[in-house]
Amino acid sequence: MKFLVHTYGCQMNVRDSEAVEALMIAAGHERVSREEDAELVIVNSCTVRQKAEEKAVGKAGNLIAAGKLTGLMGCAVKRLGADVFSRLPKLDFAVGPRAAGLIPKIVADGRFPRLELGEEGMSEALSSHVAGGAKAFVTILVGCDNRCSYCIVPDVRGHEYSRPAREVVAEVRALAARGVKEVCLLGQSVLRYGVANAAWGASDAPSPGGYSEAFPRLLEAIAGIGGIRRIRFTSAHPRGCTEELARAFREFPQVCRHIHLPVQSGSDRILADMGRRYTRAEYLAAVARMRALDPALSVTTDVIVGYPGETEEDFEATRSLMDEAGFDNSFIFKYSPRPGTRSAAKPDDVPPEEKERRNQVLLADQERRGLERNRRLVGTVAEVMVEGPSKRNASRLSGRDGGNRIVVWEAPEGEPAPREGAFVNVRIADAHPQTLIGEVQ
Inter-axis angle of helices 280-291 and 312-325, nearest 10:
10
As to burial, measured by CB atoms within 10 angstroms (0-12 exposed, 13-18 middle, 19+ buried), residue 130 is middle
241 binds ligand SF4 (CB under 6 A): no
Output the smallest distance, CB 332 to ligand 5AD, in A: 8
Partner touching 119 among ligand 5AD, ligand SF4, none, CB below 5 to 8 Å by kind: none
160 to 179: interface string for ligand 5AD, x by CB under 6 A: --------------------
In sequence order, the β-bridge partners of residue 162 are: 141
What is the Cβ-side half-sphere exposure of residue 240, based on CA atoms within 13 angstroms?
28
The string of DSSP codes covering 4-25 is EEEE-SSHHHHHHHHHHHHHHH
Residue 329 touches which of ligand 5AD, ligand SF4, none (Cβ within 5-8 Å per kind): none
Residue 296 contacts residue 376 (beta carbons within 8 Å): yes
Nearer of residues 216 and 240 to ligand SF4, judged by Cβ: 240
Q: Does 133 bind ligand SF4 (CB under 6 A)?
A: no
Asked if 335 is part of the footprint of ligand 5AD (rule: CB under 6 A), the reply reads yes
Pairing relationship of beta strands 69-74 and 40-45 according to DSSP bridges: parallel
Asked if 151 touches ligand 5AD (CB under 6 A), the answer is: yes
Give the containing element (helix H, strand E) for 357: helix 352-375
- By a kind-dependent CB cut-off of 5 to 8 A, residue 144 interacts, out of ligand 5AD, ligand SF4, none, with ligand SF4
Which CB sits closer to ligand SF4, 146 or 320? 146
What's the chain's length in residues? 441
Asked if 303 touches ligand SF4 (CB under 6 A), the answer is no
Q: Judged by CB under 6 A, which stretch of 84-92, 238-246, 265-273, 334-342 contacts ligand 5AD? A: 334-342
CA distance 425 to 418: 12
Specify the stretch interacting with ligand 5AD by CB under 6 A; choose among 26-34, 76-84, 167-175, 333-341. 333-341
What residues numbered 146-205 form the site for ligand SF4, per CB under 6 A? 146-148, 151, 153-154, 188-189
List the one residue from 20, 23, 48, 431 that touches ligand 5AD (CB under 6 A).
Answer: 48
CB of 10 to ligand 5AD, least distance (A): 6
Among positions 7, 47, 264, 267, the unique one binding ligand 5AD when judged by CB under 6 A: 264
Range in contact with ligand 5AD (rule: CB under 6 A) among 74-82, 110-118, 292-300, 332-340: 332-340
Choice from 150, 215, 315, 409 touching ligand 5AD (CB under 6 A)? 150
Residue 330 contacts which entry, ligand 5AD, ligand SF4, none (Cβ below 5-8 A, type-dependent) = none
| Helix, strand or coil, per DSSP, at residue 77 | helix
Helix spans in 243-329 (H)? 243-251, 268-274, 280-291, 312-325
- Residue 265 in contact with ligand 5AD, rule: CB under 6 A: no
- Asked if residue 49 binds ligand 5AD (CB under 6 A), the reply is yes
CB-based contact 59:6 (threshold 8 Å): yes
Return the number of other C-beta atoms located less than 10 Å from residue 146's C-beta. 15
From the list ligand 5AD, ligand SF4, none, pick the one residue 335 interacts with, judged by a Cβ distance below 5 to 8 Å according to partner type.
ligand 5AD
Radius of gyration of the chain (CA): 22
| Residue 342 interacts with ligand SF4 (CB under 6 A): yes or no | no
Q: At what angle do helices 214-223 and 165-177 cross, to 10 degrees?
A: 20
The span of 65-73, 335-343, 355-363, 414-422 binding ligand 5AD (CB under 6 A) equals 335-343
338 or 358: CB nearest ligand 5AD? 338
Question: Judged by CB under 6 A, how many residues of this single chain contact ligand SF4?
Answer: 9
If one asks whether residue 262 binds ligand 5AD (CB under 6 A), the answer comes out as yes
Cα 213 to Cα 290: distance, rounded to the nearest angstrom: 17
Smaller CB separation from ligand SF4, 84 or 151 = 151
Report, in this order, helix, strand and coil percent for the chain, each rounded to 5. 40, 20, 40
CA–CA distance, 4 with 24 (Å, rounded to integer): 10
- C-alpha–C-alpha distance, residues 188 and 204, integer Å: 21
Whole-Å CA distances, 377 to 23, 369, 412, 430, 436: 42, 13, 22, 9, 8
Residue 320 class from Cβ within 10 Å (0-12 exposed, 13-18 middle, 19+ buried)? middle
The answer to whether the beta carbons of residues 427 and 322 sit under 8 Å apart is no
Q: Find which of ligand 5AD, ligand SF4, none residue 23 binds, CB within 5 to 8 Å per kind.
A: none
Residues that bind ligand 5AD (CB under 6 A): 10, 48-49, 150-151, 262, 264, 302, 304, 333, 335-336, 338
Residues that bind ligand SF4 (CB under 6 A): 144, 146-148, 151, 153-154, 188-189
